[in-house]
């Protein structure tokens, strides 16, 4: 089989958390364009439904919307049941839902801290654990977690210690699961995007004014586009990456080089 054929995801069944918009939307679109049926898993049910309809129309694949809060184990378990009911199996789990909170460390309440850790780290664990159980039974699968360049550097000037800590946790969780599940044929990798122009940044009154500063700091002098994460998603999801597990892929326009 040639490499382009190996990159195809025909007959694969996937889900993407936080898939209603932004990076997750673009990843869902990419997996579907490569041939997979995909479930968009999101707290925001109405946007998830609209996005699923759009992507189904564009790609001709089966795209469903499943409402779930990744911090709630009961929601995650029910989501897995819905995906299995619709698709029969789960080959690809993209654990991507995440939020950022910008609060100086000395002012951060325990509630603020827990909110970010619960979604960004515990949510990834609950989702990967539930998908991993299915994949182990099936004989294999690929789990991809969205970390961040913030796992590797401390962004400035905005204060975001809980976000940075949560994303560093995602990378070490990814490596731990990759080692535990290596012989069960379940691969686990992460991606670490740099600044990407999604709602997370564009709709934040605090972050939007900082874009100029970040672009000045960045060797490429621009934000990334969500579609610039699509190729790595397709690579990691499918058989082309059979020897790739426990790795983190930085896609940040060389931001972390300086
Ligand atoms: P976004 O805010 O545009 O989209 C996030 C999606 O996740 C939304 O649809 C939201 O409804 C959903 N979501 C939030 N909490 C949820 C929960 N508890 N359960 C289920 N769904 C939930 O964000 P984005 O920019 O697309 O970011 C996606 C991921 O990429 C996040 O993990 C983020 O930390 C990471 N990331 C983003 C950037 C960036 O610059 N945008 C950079 C590096 C990493």
What kind and span of H or E run contains 92? strand 92-95
Q: Which atom of ligand 1 is nearest to the CA of 99?
A: 34
Sheet hosting strand 141-146, strand order edge to edge: 63-67, 37-42, 13-17, 92-95, 141-146, 186-193, 248-251
Pocket test for ligand 1, best of 16, 19, 21, 22 (most atoms within 8 A of CB): 22
User: Among residues of the chain, what percentage have pLDDT more than 70?
Assistant: 100
201-246 tens-digit pLDDT: 998 888 899 999 999 999 999 999 999 999 999 999 999 999 999 9
pTM over 0.75: yes
**Structure token digits, residue 191:** 């991606």
Mean pLDDT of the residues in the chain: 98
146 lines ligand 1 (CB under 6 A): yes
195 lines ligand 1 (CB under 6 A): yes
What mean pLDDT do residues 117-123 have?
98
Q: Which atom of ligand 1 is nearest to the CA of 123?
A: 18
Catalytic (active-site) positions: 148, 163, 167
25 pLDDT band, cuts 50/70/90, is very high
48-59 tens-digit pLDDT: 999 999 999 999
Domains and CATH numbers, the chain: 3-247 (3.40.50.720)
150-174 tens-digit pLDDT: 999 999 999 999 999 999 999 999 9
């Amino acid at each position: 089989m040639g490499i382009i054929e190996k990159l195809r995801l025909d007959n694969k069944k996937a889900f993407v958390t936080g898939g209603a918009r932004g990076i997750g939307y673009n990843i869902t679109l990419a997996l579907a364009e490569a041939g997979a049926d995909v479930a968009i898993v999101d707290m925001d049910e109405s946007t998830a439904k609209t996005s699923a309809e759009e992507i189904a129309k564009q790609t001709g694949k089966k795209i469903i919307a499943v409402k779930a809060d990744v911090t709630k184990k009961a929601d995650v378990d029910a989501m897995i049941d819905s995906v299995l009911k619709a698709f029969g199996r789960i080959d690809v789990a993209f654990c991507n839902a995440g939020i950022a909170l910008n609060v100086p460390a000395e002012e951060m309440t325990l509630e603020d801290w827990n909110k970010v850790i619960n979604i960004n780290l515990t949510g990834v664990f609950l989702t990967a654990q539930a998908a991993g159980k299915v994949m182990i039974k099936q004989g294999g699968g690929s789990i991809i977690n969205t970390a961040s360049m913030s796992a590797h550097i401390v962004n400035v000037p905005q204060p975001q210690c809980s976000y940075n800590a949560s994303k560093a946790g995602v990378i070490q969780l990814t490596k731990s699961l990759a080692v535990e599940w290596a012989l069960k044929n379940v691969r686990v990798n992460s991606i670490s995007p740099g600044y990407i122009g999604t709602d997370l940044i564009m709709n934040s009154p605090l972050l939007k004014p900082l874009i100029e500063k970040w672009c000045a700091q960045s060797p490429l002098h621009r934000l990334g586009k969500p579609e610039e994460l699509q190729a790595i998603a397709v690579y990691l999801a499918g058989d082309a990456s059979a020897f790739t597990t426990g790795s983190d892929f930085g896609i940040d326009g060389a931001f972390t080089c300086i």
